[in-house]
Amino acid sequence: MESLVVLPRRPEEAAKQIIEEAERRGATVRLLGGVAFKLQCRSTHDPRFYRENKDIDLAGRKDQIRRITETLEYLGYRPREVFNKLNMGERLIYYDTVNRRRVDVFLDRFTMCHSFDLRESLRPGTYTLPITDLVMTKLQVIQMTEKEYMDLIAAFTDFEVGSTEDTINASRIAGICARDWGVYTTFRKSLASVREKAIEIGGGFSSVVAERIDRLLARMEEEPKSLSWKLRARIGERARWYELPEQDSDAPFF
């Protein structure tokens, strides 16, 4: 039976529809990815940083998977059945075939080049993950593209680097990096690259972005490192410290 629900064309509104319907069913899902940056960062609407967003990325809880799948199927999204069965409990993919849109749902953990536990970040009263989590999901990308650069520059333009929920939380990021040499190394490289990109673009924001990134890097360096961090640092970059996510194709659906 086809759903009678109309799916919004704009991804921001479609994401809000999913989140609100999930809440009605007792499940908590929150946005990450480009649409989340659009909702959190006013600078993403600046022509220098603007990019189109089509797909929707969400984080949810594994123990609410039944309610999440019921939400998406009630709204009329089509499941990628084989993928969802193979990855049950970790990740789900659904499609809005009318608007040619994909919905990814990461359950408990966001896992790409690195893996992060998101359960404590599924906060009430918002449509997105906290800005610190959004930034980390971009910094963990090994092969950064223009969209990662633009989202991160917008975030560092709009948000102070501090130690509270409404800032890019340097204390939290430094703590994670101090336990995991691999995450530290990727973040350090990514931050240096974003700083260089901001200066290359130029404009009044570039000095703000550079100063905030420098402050975050300094905080990461001064955080006392764990024994496992120090042992892994001895090996250094001679051994790969990250995963490369498999390439995926939506050809069967679009």
Are 244 and 142 a contacting pair, CB within 8 Å?
yes
Strands 115-117 and 101-107: unpaired
State which of 129, 149, 167 marks the end of a domain.
Answer: 129
- Count: domains in the chain: 2
Sequence-separated (6 or more) residues with CB below 8 Å from residue 222: 174
Q: Is the pLDDT of residue 252 over 80?
A: no
pTM as predicted:
0.94
| 213 and 230 both lie in a single domain | yes
Question: Which residue reads 């939380």 in tokens?
Answer: 169
pLDDT digits (tens, 9 = 90+) for 119-128: 999 999 999 9
CA distance 33 to 24: 23
Are 152 and 161 a contacting pair, CB within 8 Å?
no
Whole-number pLDDT of residue 127? 98
| 60 and 89 both lie in a single domain | yes
CA distance 230 to 206: 34
pLDDT digits (tens, 9 = 90+) for 211-223: 999 999 999 999 9
Are 32 and 77 a contacting pair, CB within 8 Å?
no
Burial category of 248 from C-beta neighbours within 10 Å (exposed 0-12, middle 13-18, buried 19 and up): exposed
| 58 and 170 both lie in a single domain | no
- Domain membership of residue 16 as a residue range: 1-129
